[in-house]
Amino acid sequence: MFNYNVGRTMSKKKVIIISILINFFLLEKSICEPIQLARDVEVSFSAEYMSRYVYRGIDQNKDRSTASVSANLSLPAGIYMGTWIAEANYGGSSQEVDLYFGINQSYKDFNFDIYYLEARYPGKKLVNVGEYNFKLVYQANESPFRIGYYFALEDTNETVGSDYKEYSIGYDFKNFNLLATYGDWDVINKTKTITASKSFQHFDIKISHIITDNSSNVANERFNTVIISKSF
């Protein structure tokens, strides 16, 4: 039987979260600059609203929309660390807390991003996961084309076949950007994604179509998602 009080509480909670995000999205750009702590040291924040939280082709929040917030500390030499917190429904937990640190550097037309990430699920320690991540993007100077490679090496020894590889190609049009990716999550699934993104004065928006080819007995899936984000 549906508990009316619980449903009403959850509705109010969702309304509060949406109201906070709307206020973030409407903040003036001058208010939304990163906080400079020292030379080459700054703190930035972001808020995000996803119509569905789909990660590597798998729904992480039971078809529900998801709100998230993050904080990032940038240090000299491209070193950074931060946290990302979101609603989730995984392993019996209702929240996901990601902790990460890494280094981002560019050399000529190449950009490298190497980082370690741990995903924690409060109250469900046994389902926490960790990964070593490597991203490489090539984009020639003033060229609208870019290609990328991403590899994630699983670090928890929980699951056989959980390393992830992704190949991407993008094109920057005058009014929006288009990105196509193909991801291979070992024996779990293979995912194709097409994403159109655009930056507005107060926020960024991404619209994606995701096709997931599951390797297990789970039926193949398709998702259409919208992500609205704001950095400040």
String of DSSP letters for the chain: ---HHHHHHHHHHHHHHHHHHHHHHTS-GGGSSPEEEETTEEEEEEEEEESS-EETTEESSTT--EEEEEEEEE-GGGEEEEEEEEEEEETTEEEEEEEEEEEEEEETTEEEEEEEEEEE-TT-GGG-EEEEEEEEEE--TT-SEEEEEEEEEE-S--STT--EEEEEEEEE-SS-EEEEEEEEETTTEEEEEEEEEEE-SS-EEEEEEEEEEESSSSPPEEEEEEEEEEE-
21 confidence band (pLDDT: 50, 70, 90): low
- Whole-number pLDDT of residue 2: 31
Work out the pLDDT band at 37, boundaries 50, 70, 90. confident
Q: Confidence band (pLDDT; 50, 70, 90) for 195?
A: very high
36 contacts 42 by C-beta, under 8 angstroms: yes
Tokens in use for 228?
């609205």
Q: What integer is the mean pLDDT of 56-65? A: 91
pLDDT band at 28 (very low <50, low <70, confident <90, very high): low
Name which residue leads in pLDDT, 8 or 16.
16
To the nearest whole percent, how much of the chain has pLDDT over 70? Answer: 82
- Return the pLDDT at 65: 92
Give the model's pLDDT for residue 126: 81
Average pLDDT rounded to a whole number, residues 81-88: 96
For the purposes of burial, counting CB atoms within 10 Å of the CB of 3, is it exposed (0-12), middle (13-18) or buried (19 or more)?
exposed
Mean pLDDT of 159-187: 90
pTM, two decimal places? 0.83
For the segment 65-79, the average pLDDT, to the nearest whole number, is 95
Neighbours of 172 (CB within 10 A): 15
Mean pLDDT of the chain: 86
**Closest to 132 in 3D by CA, of 171, 101, 109, 161:** 101
Give domain limits for the chain: 4-27+36-231
Q: Considering just the CA atoms, what is the radius of gyration of the chain in Å?
A: 19
**Mean local confidence (pLDDT), 65-85:** 96
Summarised one tens digit per residue, pLDDT across range 106-133 is 999 999 999 999 999 998 888 889 999 9
What number is the average pLDDT over the span 57-75?
A: 93
The architecture (CATH level 2) of 4-27+36-231 comes to: Beta Barrel (2.40)
